[in-house]
Homo-oligomer: A and B are copies of this chain.
């Protein structure tokens, strides 16, 4: 189940940090490691988890593999959030507009 994959992927702080890095622009696995004190296999494993959760997608470019944020994952999270709209705080009122669109 993809919903499970997503929340499990985001449950790890290292993976959230990787995701955040990618949010500032697509990068390959080596660039992502810069300043992160993490081994190459660990990075590769984390990226596999993120990709499997549709939070990230990859594209081979020669010897490099470029990673970028996959909007699909964000949409799935938004979909989950949407289920609980009845409990959204008032300052999230605008989200209700979104829901009107998503419902059809």
Contacts and interface: CB of A to CB of B under 8 A. Distances in A.
Interface of A: 1, 3-4, 7-8, 10-11, 13, 16, 20, 23, 69, 71-72, 74-75, 77-78, 81, 83-84, 86-89, 91-95, 97-102
B78 A95 contact: yes
A75 B102 contact: no
- Please report whether the interface of chain A is mostly helix, strand, loop or mixed according to DSSP: helix
B97 A94 contact: yes
A85 B14 CA distance: 21
A85 to B, nearest CB: 9
A81 B74 contact: yes
A81 B81 contact: yes
Nearest to A88: B74
